[in-house]
Structure 1
Amino acid sequence: MLPSSNLLPASLTTLFSPALLSEIKAVARPHQFRQGDVLIEPGQPMAYIPIVLSGSIKILRPDGDSEVLLYYLRATDACALSVSSLLTNEQRSIRAIADEPTQVLMIPARQAQEWLGQFADWRQFIFQTYQKRFDDLLDTFDSVAFSQLDERLVAYLNRKAALVGGRHLYLTHDEIARDLNTSREGISRLLKQLERRGQVLLARNKISLLTPV
């Protein structure tokens, strides 16, 4: 239960009716995750639906010995694959990792299911969640299927900059390679090319975007 003094952020209060907000305050559990913390492991039963309050979460799918980045969750987002797992009672092969310090509101599975029949605004939220994540997955598919690695890297850096709201990205080449399901050597080579063009500045575990990439 949320402490009575802990008000929900305005971003959520504008989404839901007072009746639903009252239910959320009664049963939801806020959790704080550090960067790199794992929220969901592949095959894990879904006891809660996570809604991001602040920060961001990346959703990955195992692919052999590596993983493919599917999409990011930001403030007021929920994971459609988590919702799908809950509603169908089937496990999903996804991993959810905090991409930065992140606060999440955990909605118990039983209440999340009951609210579908009780609150039209909750149903709308779930349907919109599916639509947004479907659009994200289409973008990911287009990127993997039709874009060259340099284009995927540029899109990745721009998306990360938009997530953090700034030009300084604290990333390793290994992390980028894992997210893009490619080799570290290829990422390092392309980043060096961007640096020679004056578009980025590389430092240890840090990439600064000097111009729109």
Structure 2
Amino acid sequence: MRELLERHYGYLFEEELLNEIEAVGVCKKVRQGETLMDIGQSISAMPLLFSGAIKVMREDEVGDELILYFIEKGDTCAMTFSCCMGTGKSEIRAVAETDTELLMIPIEKMEEWLSRYTSWRRFILDSYHTRLSELLETVDTLAFMKMDERLLKYLRDKAMVTHDDVIYATHLQVAHDLHTSRVVISRLLKSLEKEGKIKLNRNQIKVLDL
């Protein structure tokens, strides 16, 4: 664990804080597609990612989902901490986009470190700022971009966080992520393929225009 901490967070935190993180953190491996946190679930810990990527989503009253942002290695999800400061219940769903290794930090320690370590406070505030920027980008995408533009951006974002230009997903899974129908996504994917921006295979989408 110490080697992973040093590699991904050593440049952020001082030795004393790294020692505390190592003492209380619990390593966890999450397989692709596994739910790390669900809506309404009580939150007792916050993740620090060592590898992989986590997809963070919201759900409407009829169960349709919408992607808010991705968390990558070296990141955390400050929204989980925000929820704990309020109801203590998760308002998001976090699902492993790829096989992911992370460290779970108890919430009570996180609050304590805010007052004790400037580096930790800066890390949490920077995380809030990053997540807010990504949320605003999501709002802009929904409000101002056409569905074909949203789809291409979604594919590029997934390729970026997975470090793979091949997206392993069905048209239905893509439709769920973008809060639309499979028929619409299939039509737009075929159109993007004709434009030379992607190449379609069975349950695979290769992004050519990165």
Equivalences for residues 38-57 of structure 1 within 5 A: 38-57=35-54
**Could you say which residue in structure 2 is the equivalent of 1:104?**
102
User: Displacement, 1:210?
Assistant: 2.6
Measured against aligned partners, the alpha-carbon deviations of 1:146-205 in whole angstroms (never above 9, x if no partner) come to 111011001101111111223111111111111110111100000001111222111111
What is residue 25 of structure 2 aligned with on the other side?
28
Number of equivalent positions:
209
The alpha-carbon deviation at position 85 of structure 1 amounts to 1.2
Structure 1 alignment gaps of length 5 or more:
none
Q: Contact 1:87–1:113 at 8 Å: present in 2 too?
A: no
RMSD: 1.4
Q: Which moved more, 1:176-185 or 1:158-167?
A: 158-167
Identity %: 41
Q: Is the contact made by 1:32 and 1:102 (CA closer than 8 Å) also made in structure 2? A: yes
2:16 alignment partner AA: A
CA shift in 2, pair 1:146/1:211, >3 Å: closer
Cα separation, 1, equivalents of 2:144 and 2:168:
28
Q: Is the 8 A contact 2:43 2:90 kept in 1?
A: no
- Within 5 Å, give how 1:109-128 maps onto structure 2: 109-128=107-126
4+ residue runs of structure 1 moved beyond 6 angstroms?
none
Q: Which segments of 5 or more consecutive residues in structure 2 lack a partner in the other structure?
A: none
Asked if the contact 2:83–2:91 (Cα under 8 Å) also holds between the matched residues in 1, the reply is: no
What letter is aligned with 1:78?
T
Q: Which amino acid aligns with 2:56?
A: I
Q: Distance in 2 between matches of 1:77 and 1:98?
A: 14
Query: TM-score if structure 2 supplies the norm length?
Result: 0.95
